[in-house]
Amino acid sequence: MVASTLLIADPRVSVPLLEDRKKSGLDRWDEVWDGKYVFMPLPGNQHQHLVNRIAFQLTRHLDEEGASEAVQPGANVSDRADDWTQNYRCPDVVVYLPENSAEDRGSHWHGGPDLAVEVLSEGDLALEKLPFYASVGVRELWLLDRAPWRLSRYRLSDGALVADGVAEPGGAAVRSVVLPLDWSLTAEEPPAVRLATAE
């Protein structure tokens, strides 16, 4: 299946469609990109399991540092303090360290996390989010692709998120530049994401 763009200009169609989506809870993972409503693919069981395992491992590590509340699975991230619903993205996992200057507005974060994770699904637009993530100051992004399996690290450099490390199943770990953790994929099928304290 290839992701395609659908523009609905007729409010007789778009309004009931959005209302039905909200009533059913399907809008939970949707985003708004510069005023354009984006229906994101619904995460499957494997996607959600991976997100939960990554969030758990990050929380366990940060709990040892006394900052476990820094980890959130699925948060709204915007470049706007007010009227945020006109431009926001929802990474699968975010880490906001205590020294981060982003503001927790309750409904969303105004400003980027120190670290974000995106687990790719079929039809996912995560790569198209990179410029937004860079603009809000995400320092490090981990992108988990499952076709084929690989875990890529993107680091903020000169205002852009640049890929500068890849872990493959059973291969060498890649060290985080934000947290003292080595990220790797196990050799089993399907691979699991492993986070280990850096030596």
The answer to whether residues 128 and 152 touch, using CB atoms and an 8 Å cutoff, is no
In this predicted structure, the answer to whether residue 186 has a pLDDT above a threshold of 60 is yes
The pLDDT tens digits for 46-81 are 999 999 999 999 999 998 877 778 999 989 999 999
Average pLDDT, the chain: 91
The answer to whether residues 177 and 161 touch, using CB atoms and an 8 Å cutoff, is no
In this predicted structure, the answer to whether residue 1 has a pLDDT above a threshold of 90 is no
Q: Go through the domains of the chain in sequence order and give each one's CATH number.
A: 41-197 (3.90.1570.10)
In this predicted structure, the answer to whether residue 2 has a pLDDT above a threshold of 60 is no
Residue 38 pLDDT: 82
Q: Longest Cα pair distance anywhere in the chain, in angstroms?
A: 59
pTM: 0.88
